């Protein structure tokens, strides 16, 4: 591996580390033919390094490598061997967990502790979980008629292209890489051009783990070039996308206009958290505060609408603001910091504009709402009350540390308000009555509902949305079906009795 692709990045504490900056195709780091892209440290707004980007020619090379590897190597391997590769990669990521977390904190701005103990830990667990499934993917025999035998096969799709966002720059790729590889597919991963550094380190570990060349290819580049070419490429057999609903539409369009490839979309959200009259208000305050302010509010499933029964609104608000005040905003490498900067200037300015919109719409700003410091993209956790579902802060995805709180009188009204949304990714309900918890959960139009908790993930639990939050499932056994063709084989039997 040449040194030409490696640069030195400096951390806010003065330490430095080496970073890969080239594309990873066919087990080699190679220069891209697109323009160099500056990656910006959101803490100080300074350039970390410049990374290579892929153009159409580079995408073609990655697709060719993946197709060759699928046909000649990966599809022919015993399934248990695929699982062993995934386990080896997980072990190497565990060994280098601190370095991966450092790269994510540097590139993304999230707390190093959170990056290490949540994001990287989850990604490692994801690879291990699907490693265990690799040799347990199979079909069934089906009883039809006495003179016919029928069985099904779960077969890999072929070459998968995955496009992942900047907010979870290792975890989201793992959610796609692990099931795709376990099911027998090869893959081209396009990272966000905003946060590519940690996954380029994972690429180095993929080589060390011994993966055959071409099985995993990792590129970065712009959506309108590399992303669009992947989406419309006839050599790609499935698109897995996480990102905005607007871009998701373009992914569907390009996939349909090319070879009608299989599509899986995990898109935006405006999730509601319902605090019922009988809720444990202290727990509801703690959980719902994390539900919106985790990852600086930059989560597709963020519980950014909180609906509170009018009888307990004032007490809940007091407890909620007390929790919000505990959040320490600052340098991600400070171990006491839980909220770093927003990802970049564009997102920072968008969030501040929504805070102004909320004020102008008549929502009451009761906490936060300001920029912190003169450098970096830091915004206080922000709380609006007196909201209604006609306000933009209640209807549109802000993707930042801003929560809109409204009241309700009855359970039926709360469900109606919660479901009055274009999105349906997640939701939450806080209650001490199990019947209420089940009834409300069953009534909410969203793919994941948490009861008396929020933002709790496990590799075994499927995750995906309703409505304009997309379709298809990440994680769990259901996700393996997203990366498989199911074939039915029916055989006429000739009786010899």
Q: Which residues of 118-147 are buried (b: 16+ CB within 10 A; e: fewer)?
A: bbbbbbbbbbbbbbebbeebebeeeeeeee
Q: Cα Rg for the chain, rounded, in angstroms? A: 23
Continuous segment of H or E residues that includes residue 317: helix 313-325
Residue of 300, 287, 272 lying closest to 414 (CA atoms): 272
72 shares a domain with 49 = yes
Determine which one of 266, 380, 397, 474 is catalytic.
266
DSSP string, 36-49: -EEEEETTTTEEEE
Q: What is the pLDDT of residues 402-441, one digit of tens each?
A: 999 999 999 999 999 999 999 999 999 999 999 999 999 9
Structure confidence at residue 397 as a pLDDT band (50, 70, 90): very high
Structure confidence at residue 146 as a pLDDT band (50, 70, 90): confident
**Domain contains 278:** yes
257 shares a domain with 293 = no
Confidence (pLDDT) at 2: 46
Confidence (pLDDT) at 496: 60
385 shares a domain with 291 = yes
**Domain contains 374:** yes
Q: What is the mean pLDDT of residues 445-449?
A: 98
- Who contacts 220 (Cβ-Cβ below 8 Å, separation ≥6)? 23, 32, 37, 51, 52, 53, 54, 190, 191, 192, 193, 196, 200, 226
**Domain contains 478:** yes
CATH number at residue 75: 3.40.605.10
Confidence (pLDDT) at 6: 86
Q: What is the pLDDT of residues 300-324, one digit of tens each?
A: 999 999 999 999 999 999 999 999 9
Residue the block writes with tokens 């990656």: 39
**Domain contains 433:** yes
**Domain contains 31:** yes
**Domain contains 367:** yes
Structure tokens at 48: 């970390």
Confidence (pLDDT) at 15: 79
CATH number at residue 288: 3.40.309.10
415 shares a domain with 322 = yes
331 shares a domain with 221 = no
176 shares a domain with 280 = no
Return the percentage of the chain with pLDDT > 90, whole number.
94
Neighbours of 390 (CB within 10 A): 9
**Domain contains 377:** yes
113 shares a domain with 39 = yes
Q: What is the mean pLDDT of residues 343-367?
A: 98
Angle at 57 between CA 190 and CA 161, to 5 degrees: 30
Domain total of the chain = 2
Q: What is the pLDDT of residues 71-99, one digit of tens each?
A: 999 999 999 999 999 999 999 999 999 99
Mean confidence (pLDDT) of the chain: 96
Q: Is the pLDDT of residue 3 over 70?
A: no
310 shares a domain with 227 = no
Q: What is the mean pLDDT of residues 267-289?
A: 98
Q: What is the mean pLDDT of residues 90-111?
A: 97
Structure confidence at residue 497 as a pLDDT band (50, 70, 90): low
**Domain contains 428:** yes
Confidence (pLDDT) at 1: 43
d(CA 204, CA 310): 54
372 shares a domain with 328 = yes
For 339, list phi and psi in degrees, rounded to 5. Answer: -130, 115
442 shares a domain with 357 = yes
Continuous segment of H or E residues that includes residue 16: strand 16-20
Q: Is the pLDDT of residue 11 over 80?
A: no
Q: What is the pLDDT of residues 177-196, one digit of tens each?
A: 999 999 999 999 999 999 99
Is-catalytic flag, 380? no
Confidence (pLDDT) at 7: 87
Contact 23, 220 (CB under 8 A): yes
112 shares a domain with 79 = yes
Q: Which domain holds residue 41?
A: 6-267+470-486
354 shares a domain with 432 = yes
């Amino acid at each position: 591996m040449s040194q030409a692709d490696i640069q030195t990045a400096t951390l806010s504490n003065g330490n430095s580390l080496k970073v890969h900056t080239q594309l990873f195709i066919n087990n080699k780091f190679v220069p891209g033919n697109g323009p160099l892209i500056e990656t910006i440290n959101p803490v100080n707004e300074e350039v970390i390094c410049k990374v290579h980007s892929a153009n159409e020619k580079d995408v073609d090379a990655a697709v060719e490598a993946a197709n060759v590897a699928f046909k000649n190597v990966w599809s022919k391997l015993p399934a248990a061997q695929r699982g062993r590769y995934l386990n080896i990669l997980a072990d190497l990521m565990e060994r280098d967990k601190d370095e991966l977390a450092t790269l994510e904190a540097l590139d993304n701005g999230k707390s190093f502790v959170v990056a290490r103990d949540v994001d990287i830990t989850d990604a490692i667990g994801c690879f291990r979980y699907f490693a265990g499934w690799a040799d347990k993917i199979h079909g069934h025999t089906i009883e039809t008629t006495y003179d016919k035998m029928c069985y099904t096969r779960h077969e890999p799709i072929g070459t998968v292209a995955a496009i992942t966002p900047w907010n979870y720059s290792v975890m989201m790729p793992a959610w796609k890489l692990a099931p795709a590889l376990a099911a027998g597919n090869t893959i081209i991963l396009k990272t966000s051009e905003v946060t590519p550094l940690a996954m380029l380190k994972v690429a180095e570990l993929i080589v060390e783990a011994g993966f055959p060349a071409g099985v995993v290819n990792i590129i970065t580049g712009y959506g309108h070039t590399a992303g669009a070419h992947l989406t419309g490429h006839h050599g790609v057999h499935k698109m897995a996308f996480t990102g905005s609903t607007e871009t998701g539409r373009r992914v569907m369009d390009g996939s349909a206009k090319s070879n009608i490839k299989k599509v899986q979309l995990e898109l935006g959200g405006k999730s509601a958290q319902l605090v019922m009259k009988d809720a444990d208000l202290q727990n509801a305050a703690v959980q719902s505060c994390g539900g919106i302010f985790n990852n600086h509010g930059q989560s597709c499933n963020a519980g950014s609408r909180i609906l509170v029964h009018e009888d307990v609104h004032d007490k809940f608000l007091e407890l909620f603001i007390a929790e919000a005040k505990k959040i320490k905003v600052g340098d991600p490498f400070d171990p006491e910091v839980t909220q770093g900067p927003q990802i970049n200037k564009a997102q920072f300015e968008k969030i501040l504009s929504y805070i102004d919109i909320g004020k102008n719409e008549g929502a009451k700003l009761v906490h936060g709402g300001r920029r912190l410091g003169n450098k970096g993209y830091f915004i206080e956790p922000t709380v609006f009350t007196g909201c209604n579902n006609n306000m933009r802060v209640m209807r549109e995805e802000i993707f930042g540390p801003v929560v809109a709180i409204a009241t309700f009188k009855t359970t039926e009204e709360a469900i109606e308000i919660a479901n009055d949304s274009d999105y349906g990714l997640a939701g939450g309900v806080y209650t001490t009555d199990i019947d209420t918890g089940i009834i409300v959960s069953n009534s909410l139009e969203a793919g994941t509902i948490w009861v008396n908790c929020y933002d709790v993930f496990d590799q075994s639990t499927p995750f995906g949305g309703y409505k304009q939050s997309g379709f298809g499932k990440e994680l769990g056994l259901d996700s393996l079906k997203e990366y498989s063709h199911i074939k039915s084989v029916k055989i006429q039997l000739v009786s010899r009795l």
